[in-house]
């Protein structure tokens, strides 16, 4: 009981030990916990009690962190206020001012901004290089390098990272590895099984799954998570109990959502490959035996008017985020990657014709027909 993935996603939460023995996990919507006397309060500081103040920890946030750790096959996990705060906590647990990071150049725009600007202001330097070149990665390593950072499936061009290669380079130079596994999810891929030290998720996306929560989760080796948890507490990156509860509720249906969404994504990718209005379809291959994920990116032909295309999508919503049960589209050059330097965008292939599609759980034929119709209407 509880050993296989689908079971762990449903039965990861701690049992309710309150008098009422609620079947659903209660929401511990409290800023603090009370004690019988000073000796009882001291027991928290001695490690005998789990909770004192919800910035330090809460049953709901603990459920989320440890629940994702369980399905990622990691030693421990901590929940945070967003995917970005989870990334920051993980990095600061490893890297200090004066030290250095090697990062993949094809990252989510928000992550790129954090690494290139905010970490620079903290005295931490980052080199962005192509992770398709082993030599380029190795040549970027400095004596001060502590961390190698990438995404298991990159945003928005959906390149599948060679995690075995990343781990081999990290071992050669004695580096910590940190992998953003948001797009793949633990359902399709578990980077810890490839030796990753830290794995991060924007739980806002597939873990929450319903576009109604902002949260992050960092999992990995216990000693690193303990350091990261200290950063979460000190920097106020904690997640609220209610949002943790929502994310936990979403996590329970991760398997069935990803199964359906991945199937729909494959169908759309295959359909658009032969569409005259599409120059290129970006969709992972051989990511997992369970599927290749629920994200598809397309490069529209120059004969397709991008503005008209977005206006012709009928029930499909335009959104700057992804991974809900509804199919949505985004325009990376104006949203997720607008802060990346233009020369870098051009080098990576993030062009004016690039559209990122987050596939939902609707009927696959409705999804395909809507995109085909929108392309046809926008084609000059």
Could you give the residue numbers annotated as active site?
55, 108, 180, 205
Output the six-digit token pair for 167.
């781990």
- Let me know: does 299 contact 353? Beta carbons within 8 Å: yes
Q: What's the rounded Cα separation, in Å, for the pair 335 and 330?
A: 7
Output the six-digit token pair for 180.
């953003």
Place of tokens 């290089």: 129
CA distances from 380 to 91, 191, 279, 351, 375 (A): 47, 44, 15, 19, 10
- Let me know: does 215 contact 61? Beta carbons within 8 Å: no
Cβ-based neighbours of 102, under 8 Å, separated by 6 or more: 126, 127, 129, 137, 140, 141, 145, 147, 148, 149, 175
Closest CA to 354 of 251, 249, 278, 248: 278
With left for phi above 0 and alpha for psi between -120 and 50, is residue 40 left, alpha or beta? alpha
Rg of the chain (C-alpha set): 21
- Let me know: does 124 contact 97? Beta carbons within 8 Å: yes
**Which residues lie across from 359 on neighbouring strands?**
none
Secondary structure of residue 103 in the 3-state scheme: strand
């Amino acid at each position: 009981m509880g050993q296989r993935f689908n079971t762990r996603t449903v039965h990861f939460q701690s049992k309710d030990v309150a008098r009422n023995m609620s079947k659903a996990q209660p929401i511990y919507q409290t800023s603090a916990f009370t004690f019988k006397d000073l000796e009882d309060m001291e027991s928290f500081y001695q490690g005998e009690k789990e909770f004192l103040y919800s910035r330090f920890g809460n049953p709901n946030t603990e459920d989320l962190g440890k629940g994702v750790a369980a399905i990622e096959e990691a030693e421990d996990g901590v929940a945070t206020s967003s995917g970005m705060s989870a990334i920051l906590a993980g990095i600061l647990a490893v890297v200090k001012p004066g030290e250095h990071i090697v990062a993949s150049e094809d990252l989510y725009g928000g992550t790129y901004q954090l690494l290139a600007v905010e970490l620079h202001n903290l005295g931490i330097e980052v080199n962005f290089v192509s992770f398709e070149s082993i030599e380029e990665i190795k040549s970027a390593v400095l004596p001060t390098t502590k961390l190698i950072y990438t995404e298991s499936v990159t945003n928005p061009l959906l390149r599948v990272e060679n995690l075995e290669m990343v781990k081999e380079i990290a071992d050669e130079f004695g580096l910590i590895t940190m992998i953003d596994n948001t797009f793949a999810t633990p359902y399709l891929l578990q980077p810890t099984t490839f030796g990753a030290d830290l794995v991060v998720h924007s739980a806002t996306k597939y873990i929450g799954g319903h576009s109604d929560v902002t949260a992050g989760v960092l999992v990995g080796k216990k000693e690193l998570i303990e350091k990261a948890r200290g950063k979460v507490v000190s920097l106020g990156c904690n997640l609220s109990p209610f949002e943790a509860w929502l994310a936990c509720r979403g996590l329970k249906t991760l398997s069935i959502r990803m199964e359906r969404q991945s199937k729909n994504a494959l169908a759309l990718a295959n359909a658009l490959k032969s569409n005259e209005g599409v120059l290129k379809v970006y969709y992972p291959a051989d990511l997992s035996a369970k599927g290749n994920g629920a994200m598809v990116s397309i490069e529209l032909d120059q004969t397709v008017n991008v503005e008209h295309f977005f206006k012709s999508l009928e029930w499909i919503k335009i959104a700057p985020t992804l991974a809900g049960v509804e199919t949505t589209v985004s325009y990376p050059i104006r949203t997720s990657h607008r802060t990346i330097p233009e020369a870098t965008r051009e080098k990576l292939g993030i062009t004016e014709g690039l559209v990122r599609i987050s596939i939902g759980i609707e009927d696959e034929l409705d999804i395909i027909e809507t995109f085909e119709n929108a392309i046809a209407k926008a084609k000059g």
